[in-house]
Amino acid sequence: MKMLDVLKSISNQTRLNILTWLKDPFAYFPNEELADYSPSLGVCVSDIAKKAKMSIPTVSVYLKTMSAADLLVATRKDQWTYYKRNEEAIQELAQLIKEKL
């Protein structure tokens, strides 16, 4: 894990929010959008963009950045790309800060 890239990828309020939203999608996204939600997939790009009130392209690259930093896991299914949190990597980051930083 590249500590600096991970840190950069969460040094933005929107990206930080996305991480929070994905922690508990039912608490943050309209239920109808989660009709066929599955924890193994996560939430799709456009739903996240709508929640963020930001353009889809912007959010698309944010998500891509975060998955490049290994904080999110992307799954393409049909024409949708779903993103979910990578809990292991997040815990690993906390651990790294705790003992190595």
Partner DNA sequence: TAGGGATTTAGGTAAATGCCTAAATTTGAT
Partner DNA sequence: ATCAAATTTAGGCATTTACCTAAATCCCTA
* 75 φ, ψ (degrees, to nearest 5): -135, 120
- 11 vs 31, beta carbon nearer a copy of itself: 11
- 20 vs 38, beta carbon nearer a copy of itself: 20
Rounded Cα–Cα distance for residues 75 and 52 (Å): 20
Residue with tokens 């994905």: 22
44: partner contacted, choices a copy of itself, DNA, none (Cβ within 5-8 A by kind): DNA
Look up residue 48 and give its two tokens: 């996240």
Please give the residue ranges that form the binding site for a copy of itself (CB under 8 A): 3-4, 7-8, 10-13, 16, 19-20, 23, 90-91, 93-95, 97-98, 101
